[in-house]
C-alpha cells in the first residue's frame, strides 16, 4: 500500500519525503485547492522545485485541484491544471466534473484521481468517473465501512485510496454546506470548513464559549480543554438533552485497521493534514512507514502511538467499523 | 417561471404522504412534482404501495412527474434500486447522485440539488449527457446562478426557493444515535419528527434540524423576495420543499407573486402566517452565510433592481 502524505508547504513536502512518504499531495496557493488557508500551499515555482526534489528521492507528487470551479472563472482552475501538468505532477486530484472534463481532454496522458470531494461512494458512481474521464484512482469518502471498501475495490476498474489518519469528516465530503450556512465560506466553494476567520472565543459565566459566525458551537468548563469549533463536532441541544450530536471532537486513526484495509485491496493510504507543521508530518509519516514495514514482516499494527498528535487527544476508526453508525 | 415541488425529505406516515400528494395534484399550482425517497433507503418500502396511485393522480392532474433518486448510495440493495429506477421508467428521473447516470444511458433526465454543479462547464457536461433540468446546489450565489443559466438557455435551471435547506448527508443516522439506537435497528425514530428534529445551540438558539442521515437548517429558505431577480437571471423554476405546513397555500403565494397578483410584502406576510415559528433566510443567494436574511428584498429595492436589469438587457441588445 502506498503512503500518501500531506504537504502544506515546501518545508512540509521535504519533511514528508524524508520521513518515508511514497507520495505527497499539495495544492496551489489559491481557491482551486480545498485547504485554502493563509500562509499555506505552493506557488507554481515552489511546486516545480518541490516536484524536482521529490522525484530526486523517488517520491511522487499529487496535486490537489479539488474545489468546485466558481462560475465564470473557469480559467483559474484550467490554469491550475495546466501548471501542475507542466510542473510534472504525477497525478491531479480533481473534484469538479467540468475541471475533470477539461483535464482529460487537454492532457489525455495525465493521470487523474477523483477527489474525495467528488463524493463517489459506490462502484457505479466511480465507474462514471472511470468511463467519462479515464480516472485511475478514487479517494473514498470517510463514510464507508471496511467491508464496503473491500466490495468497491473488488468491483471498480481503478485504484482506491482511503484516509487513515487526521481530521474526520462525519458528513459525506463534497456534500456538506454546514460551514457556508454559518459563515458563508464552504469547502466546495472556498476550500475552507469552519474557517478561523469566523471563530470567536469569549468568557461567559466562568465558561469559555466558542462561536462560529453567529452561532455558539461549544462551551467549556474552566478545567476542560477547549477544542476548535468545527461545526459538526460541536455541542448542541435537542429536547432529548445536550451533547455532541454529530461527532465528538475526535480524529481519525485507522492504524489498527491497516491489515484489514490491505486485505480489502486498497491501493493507497492517505494522511490528512496539509495545515499541520513539519514536526507533525515527520512524526506521523515516520510512524505509518514503520507500521507498514512491520506489516510486511508479519507484525501486527500497534495502537495508540499517535494519540498525542490528534485534535482533542482522542481517536476513532470512524466509519471503517460499522458500529460507528 | 415554473414551480417545482421537491421530494418529501422527512419520514411521513405513508397515508399522510399519499394524501399530501393527492391534494397537491388537485390543488397546488405547481408544474413539476418530484416523488420518491431520496434521504434514507430504509424508508422506501413504506411508500412503495402508494407510489403508483400518487404518480397516476399527479399525472392525471397535469403535473410533470419526476422520480427522485437517493442522495447517498452505498449498499448493494441501494445500487440495485437506483439502477432499476433509472432503467425502468418512462418518467424523468432526477439524479441526486451520479450512481444512476450509467443506467440512464444519456436519456433525458433532471439533476437534483445534491449533485455538485457549481459552474457552466460542469452544467454543460451534464447537459451533453441528457440533463434537461438542473436544480442547482442551494449554497450557490446569484452571480453563479446567472452565469450558469446564461450559458445554457435550453436547460431549465431551478433554484431551491422554499423549505429547510438540506445541508449535509452522512452514512451515520443522527436520529438513531440520539436515541441510542444503531442505524440497522433504528426503529424508524425519525418518523417522530415529520418536520425535522430541532437542534439548538447551547444558548438555546435554534440552528439545525435533524432528519435521520440528513442535516438541514432550522430556518426556512424563502426566496419569494428574490423571485423576480431569479427570473431576470434566467432561472426557469423555483423549488418548494415540503414542510409541515400548507404547501398548497405556499405554492399559491409564489404563483400569485410571479403572476403579479400579489405584492411581495403581502406574500411574505402570508408565508409567515402559513409557516409560523420558523425564521426565513435567503443568505446563500446573496453570497452571505445561508442563515442570514438580507433586507434587500424591499419593494423599492426590487423596483430599482428591475430598472437596472432592464438597462442591462437594453445595453446588451445594442
Confidence of residue B205 (pLDDT cuts 50, 70, 90): very high
- Backbone angles phi and psi of B31, in degrees to 5: -95, -35
Strands (E), B15-154: 32-35, 64-68, 92-95, 109-111, 131-135
Cβ contact B170–A172 (<8 Å): yes
Helix A44-56 to helix A74-86 angle, to the nearest 10 degrees?
30
What b/e string do you get for A264-296 counting C-beta neighbours within 10 Å, with b at 16 or more?
bbbbbbbbbbbbbebebbbbbbbbbbebbeeee
Rounded average pLDDT over B188-200: 97
Residue A303 CB partners (closer than 8 Å, separation 6+)? A255, A256
Distance from CA of B312 to the nearest CA of A (A): 18
Q: What is the 3-state secondary structure (H, E, C) of A206-241?
A: CEEEEEECCEEEEEECCCCCCCCCCHHHCCEEECCE
Cell numbers describing residue B75: 449498499
pLDDT value for B240: 98
Is A193 known to sit in a ligand binding site? yes
Residue entry with cell 445534491:
B114
Dist CA B114 CA A68 (whole Å): 14
pLDDT tens track for B128-171: 999 999 999 999 999 999 999 999 999 999 999 999 999 999 99
pLDDT value for A38: 80
pLDDT value for A140: 95
Give the Å distances, CA to CA, from A17 to A9, A11, A257, B37, B181: 12, 10, 24, 48, 44
Cβ contact B121–A98 (<8 Å): yes
Residues lower than pLDDT 50 in chain A? none
pLDDT value for B265: 95
pLDDT value for A310: 66
pLDDT value for A304: 54
Dihedral through CA A139, CA A143, CA A147, CA A153, nearest 10? Answer: -20
Residue B20 has pLDDT above 60, yes or no: yes
Q: Which domains does chain A have, with CATH numbers?
A: 2-168+250-320 (3.20.20.60), 178-244 (no CATH)
Is A176 known to sit in a ligand binding site? yes
Cβ contact B144–A177 (<8 Å): no
- What residues of B are in contact with residue A208 (Cβ under 8 Å)? none
Rounded average pLDDT over B1-25: 98
Beta bridge partners of B209: B198, B216
Confidence of residue B261 (pLDDT cuts 50, 70, 90): very high
Query: In terms of Cα–Cα distance, which of B120, B7, B150 is closest to B66?
Result: B7
pLDDT value for A307: 64
The 8-class DSSP code of residue B164 comes to E
pLDDT value for A309: 67
List the single residue in A with minimal CA-CA distance to B74.
A122
Residue B314 has pLDDT above 80, yes or no: no
Is A26 known to sit in a ligand binding site? no
What b/e string do you get for B234-267 counting C-beta neighbours within 10 Å, with b at 16 or more?
bbbbbbbbbbebebbebbbbbbbbbeeebebeeb
Q: Is A197 exposed, middle or buried (0-12, 13-18, 19+ CB in 10 A)?
A: exposed
Cβ contact B102–A72 (<8 Å): no
Is A5 known to sit in a ligand binding site? no
Interface test with B, best of A124, A187, A199, A219 (most B CBs within 10 A): A124
Dist CA B84 CA B88 (whole Å): 6
pLDDT value for B296: 57
pLDDT value for A123: 97
Dist CA A218 CA A226 (whole Å): 9
- What residues of B are in contact with residue A102 (Cβ under 8 Å)? 121
- Backbone angles phi and psi of A242, in degrees to 5: -110, 155
Cell numbers describing residue B272: 409567515
Query: In terms of Cα–Cα distance, which of B243, B192, B12, B170 is closest to A245?
Result: B170
pLDDT tens track for B294-304: 975 444 545 55
The pTM of this model reads 0.93
pLDDT value for A303: 57
pLDDT value for A320: 79
Dist CA A185 CA B170 (whole Å): 20
Cβ contact A325–B172 (<8 Å): yes
Amino acid at each position: 500500500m502506498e503512503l500518501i502524505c500531506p504537504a502544506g508547504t515546501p518545508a512540509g513536502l521535504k519533511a514528508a519525503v524524508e520521513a518515508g512518504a511514497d507520495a505527497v499531495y499539495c495544492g496551489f496557493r489559491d481557491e482551486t485547492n480545498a485547504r485554502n488557508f493563509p500562509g499555506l500551499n505552493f506557488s507554481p515555482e515552489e511546486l516545480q522545485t518541490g516536484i524536482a526534489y521529490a522525484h530526486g528521492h523517488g517520491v511522487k507528487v499529487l496535486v490537489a485541484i479539488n474545489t468546485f470551479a466558481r462560475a465564470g472563472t473557469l480559467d483559474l482552475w484550467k490554469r491550475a491544471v495546466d501548471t501542475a501538468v507542466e510542473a510534472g505532477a504525477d497525478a491531479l486530484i480533481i473534484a469538479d466534473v467540468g475541471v475533470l472534463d477539461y483535464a482529460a481532454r487537454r492532457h489525455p496522458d495525465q493521470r487523474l484521481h477523483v477527489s474525495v470531494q467528488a463524493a463517489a461512494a459506490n462502484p457505479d458512481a466511480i465507474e462514471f468517473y472511470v468511463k467519462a474521464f479515464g480516472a485511475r484512482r478514487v479517494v473514498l469518502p470517510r463514510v464507508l465501512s471496511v467491508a464496503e471498501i473491500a466490495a468497491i475495490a473488488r468491483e471498480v476498474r481503478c485504484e482506491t485510496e482511503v484516509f487513515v489518519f487526521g481530521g474526520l469528516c462525519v458528513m459525506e465530503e463534497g456534500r456538506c454546506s454546514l460551514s457556508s450556512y454559518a459563515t458563508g465560506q464552504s469547502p466546495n466553494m472556498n476550500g475552507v470548513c469552519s474557517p478561523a476567520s469566523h471563530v470567536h472565543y469569549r468568557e461567559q459565566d466562568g465558561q469559555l464559549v466558542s462561536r462560529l459566525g453567529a452561532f455558539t458551537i461549544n462551551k467549556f468548563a474552566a478545567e476542560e480543554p477547549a477544542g476548535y469549533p468545527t461545526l459538526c463536532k460541536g455541542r448542541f441541544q435537542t429536547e432529548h438533552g445536550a451533547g455532541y450530536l454529530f461527532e465528538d471532537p475526535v480524529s481519525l486513526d485507522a492504524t489498527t485497521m491497516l491489515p484489514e484495509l490491505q486485505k480489502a485491496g486498497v491501493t493507497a493510504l492517505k494522511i490528512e493534514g496539509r495545515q499541520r507543521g513539519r514536526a507533525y508530518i515527520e512524526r506521523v509519516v515516520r510512524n505509518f512507514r514503520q507500521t507498514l514495514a512491520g506489516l510486511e514482516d508479519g507484525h501486527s499494527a500497534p495502537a495508540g502511538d499517535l494519540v498525542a498528535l490528534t485534535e482533542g487527544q482522542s481517536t476513532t476508526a470512524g466509519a471503517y467499523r460499522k458500529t460507528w453508525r | 417561471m415554473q414551480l417545482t415541488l421537491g421530494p418529501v425529505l422527512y419520514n411521513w406516515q405513508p397515508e399522510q404522504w399519499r394524501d399530501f400528494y393527492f391534494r397537491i395534484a388537485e390543488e397546488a399550482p405547481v408544474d413539476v412534482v418530484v416523488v420518491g425517497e431520496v434521504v434514507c433507503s430504509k424508508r422506501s418500502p413504506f411508500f412503495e404501495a402508494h407510489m403508483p396511485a400518487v404518480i397516476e393522480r399527479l399525472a392525471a392532474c397535469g403535473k410533470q412527474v419526476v422520480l427522485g433518486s437517493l442522495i447517498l448510495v452505498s449498499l448493494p440493495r441501494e445500487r440495485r434500486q437506483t439502477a432499476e429506477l433509472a432503467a425502468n421508467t418512462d418518467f424523468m428521473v432526477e439524479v441526486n447522485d451520479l450512481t444512476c447516470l450509467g443506467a440512464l444511458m444519456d436519456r433525458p433526465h433532471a439533476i437534483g440539488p445534491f449533485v455538485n454543479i457549481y459552474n457552466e462547464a460542469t452544467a454543460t457536461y451534464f447537459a451533453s449527457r441528457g440533463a434537461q433540468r438542473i436544480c442547482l446546489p442551494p449554497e450557490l450565489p446569484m452571480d453563479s446562478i446567472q452565469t450558469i443559466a446564461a450559458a445554457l438557455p435550453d436547460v431549465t435551471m431551478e433554484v431551491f426557493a422554499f423549505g429547510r435547506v438540506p445541508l449535509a448527508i452522512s452514512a451515520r443516522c443522527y436520529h438513531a444515535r440520539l436515541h441510542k439506537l444503531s442505524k440497522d435497528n433504528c426503529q424508524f425514530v425519525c418518523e417522530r419528527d415529520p418536520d425535522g428534529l430541532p437542534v439548538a445551540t447551547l444558548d438555546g438558539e435554534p440552528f439545525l434540524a435533524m432528519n435521520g442521515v440528513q442535516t438541514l437548517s432550522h430556518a426556512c429558505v424563502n426566496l419569494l423576495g428574490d423571485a423576480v431577480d431569479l427570473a431576470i437571471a434566467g432561472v426557469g423554476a423555483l423549488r418548494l420543499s415540503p414542510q409541515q405546513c400548507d404547501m398548497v397555500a405556499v405554492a399559491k403565494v409564489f404563483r400569485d407573486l410571479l403572476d403579479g397578483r400579489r405584492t411581495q410584502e403581502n406574500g411574505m406576510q402570508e408565508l409567515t402566517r402559513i409557516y409560523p415559528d420558523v425564521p426565513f433566510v435567503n443568505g446563500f443567494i446573496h453570497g452571505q452565510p445561508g442563515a442570514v436574511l438580507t433586507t434587500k428584498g424591499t419593494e423599492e429595492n426590487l423596483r430599482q433592481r428591475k430598472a437596472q436589469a432592464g438597462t442591462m438587457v437594453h445595453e446588451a441588445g445594442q
